[in-house]
Amino acid sequence: MENLSISLKPKPMKILISIFLILSTALIYSQTREETLDWLNLKLEEFGDNQIMGTYQISIKKDDNYGDYLLFVRKSWNPLLNRNTYQYYSFVPEVVSKIYLSTKNRTNSTLDIFIRSDTEDIYVPEDDEFVSEFTISMKNGHNEITNRIQKGLLHLLNLMGNNIEPQKELFTN
């Protein structure tokens, strides 16, 4: 009778391919638009400067003429009116040229997030005007999460077809 021995030793090439497949599936995973939007809204609500400038919420809307566009809603408390007031900013993702962090207009070292268009393509319906920039003010002492929110906004725009490179910090403390 013939000797039918089966080698149970795995082949090195099969091991390499298996490791590559496992690592590549882990590395190519990134958050979807909905997951990114949920995370951003959670962090903006928690770390937005709701005492002074208000907090933001973001949604993706669809228009027959323009396709998907972003709607940022700033909710702030107005003590004179004794109620919340709302400010809206809407734009298609392609108009955003930069999302950057700055301490502009702040007396402390708290970072704020600026969303900028090279042209005045960000619509503000309450004022019936277009602007080139708006600011998301953040709570004091949370600069690390502000950096992460900036990256999340860049990721959301990337998922919507606008790949913006993050601004390089030339001077840091």
Task: Decide if 131 is inside a domain.
Answer: yes
pLDDT in tens, 84-139: 999 999 999 999 999 999 865 566 778 899 999 999 999 999 999 999 999 999 98
Task: Decide if 137 is inside a domain.
Answer: yes
Task: Decide if 173 is inside a domain.
Answer: no
Q: Does position 10 have pLDDT exceeding 70, yes or no? A: no
User: According to the per-residue pLDDT averaged within each range, which of 1-15, 100-114, 146-160 is highest?
Assistant: 146-160
Task: Decide if 11 is inside a domain.
Answer: no
pLDDT top residue among 173 and 61: 61
Closest residue by Cα to residue 87 from 55, 44, 46, 40: 55
Give me the number of domains the chain comprises.
1
Task: Decide if 2 is inside a domain.
Answer: no
Which of 29-33, 83-87, 122-126, 156-160 bottoms out in mean pLDDT, i.e. has the lowest? Answer: 29-33
Mean pLDDT of the chain: 85
**Structural domain harbouring 111:** 32-159
Residues contacting residue 110 through CB under 8 Å, at least 6 positions apart = 103, 138, 139, 140, 141, 142, 143, 146
33-47 and 143-159 helices cross at what angle (nearest 10)? 150
CA–CA dist 125, 44 (Å, integer): 22
Task: Decide if 8 is inside a domain.
Answer: no
pLDDT of residue 25: 55
The model's pTM? 0.76
- For 163, the token pair is 């790949």
Task: Decide if 26 is inside a domain.
Answer: no
Our CA dihedral for 78, 79, 82, 85, rounded to 10 degrees, sits at 0
Q: Rounded mean pLDDT of 134-162? A: 93
CB 37 within 8 A of CB 152: no
| Position 30, amino acid | S
Task: Decide if 57 is inside a domain.
Answer: yes
Element (H, E) at 159: helix 143-159
Closest residue by Cα to residue 172 from 109, 123, 129: 109
Look up residue 94 and give its DSSP letter. G
Closest residue by Cα to residue 135 from 97, 171, 100, 92: 100
CA–CA dist 55, 44 (Å, integer): 6
pLDDT in tens, 60-74: 999 999 899 999 999
CA–CA dist 125, 173 (Å, integer): 38
